[in-house]
Amino acid sequence: MSLGIAVLTVSDTRTLADDKSGNLLVERIAADGHRLAARLIKSDDRYGIRAQLSNWLIDDTVDVIIITGGTGLTGRDLVPEAVRPLLDRITDGFGELFRMLSYADVGTSAIQSRAFAGSANSRLVFCLPGSRGACELAWDKIIGLQLNTSTQPCNLVDIIPRMKESPDQPAPKRPSNRD
């Protein structure tokens, strides 16, 4: 299944020409058969990030949003603070797994990453560090696999339609393995 994926690089200094992290994600998105729905670079501005994310959360061509940059510990790293208030749910396992895998590459420096993921308005949102290596690790070891329907026993693509289910409605009857 081809998904529309938007990529936002958060940086005060990068351009599309020298955005190695964003370029890597664009290459991986295409190689895995998905569509690049949008790509932008925004400065480290909490409200500008929120505004862009809000626009993509109501864009019917966007299924997944990947934000790279702004997840560290410096004063300008404010992506978690900008994004979390807009999320309906946090996917704790993403950040945990990312840091576990990152430890093999960067050792205890992995604790400095505030990478995380969640969902909002039936869209998946991933927030990654700004380095090319971090984006490569996140896509190759986690995101790309979870956006592939052949990943079993489960993947995120299979649950995207179910993210629109109302919590007030009974769950639809699904065939069980015993049927």
| pLDDT tens digits along 4-46 | 999 999 999 999 999 999 999 999 999 999 999 999 999 999 9
Which amino acid is located at 63 in the chain?
Answer: D
User: What is the CATH classification number for the domain harbouring 112?
Assistant: 3.40.980.10
> Which pLDDT score, from 0 to 100, does residue 20 have?
96
CA atoms within a 13 Å half-sphere pointing along the CA-CB vector of 167 = 1
| Residue 173 domain-assigned (yes or no) | no
Q: What is the mean pLDDT of residues 101-111?
A: 95
pLDDT digits (tens, 9 = 90+) for 43-77: 999 999 999 999 999 999 999 999 999 898 888 89
Answer yes or no: are the C-beta atoms of 64 and 4 closer than 8 Å. Answer: yes
| Residue 178 domain-assigned (yes or no) | no
Answer yes or no: are the C-beta atoms of 8 and 125 closer than 8 Å. Answer: no
How many domains does the chain divide into?
1
Count CB-CB contacts under 10 A for residue 67: 27
123-128, strands of its sheet edge to edge: 35-42, 4-10, 64-68, 123-128, 116-120, 89-90
Print the domain residue range for 128.
4-164
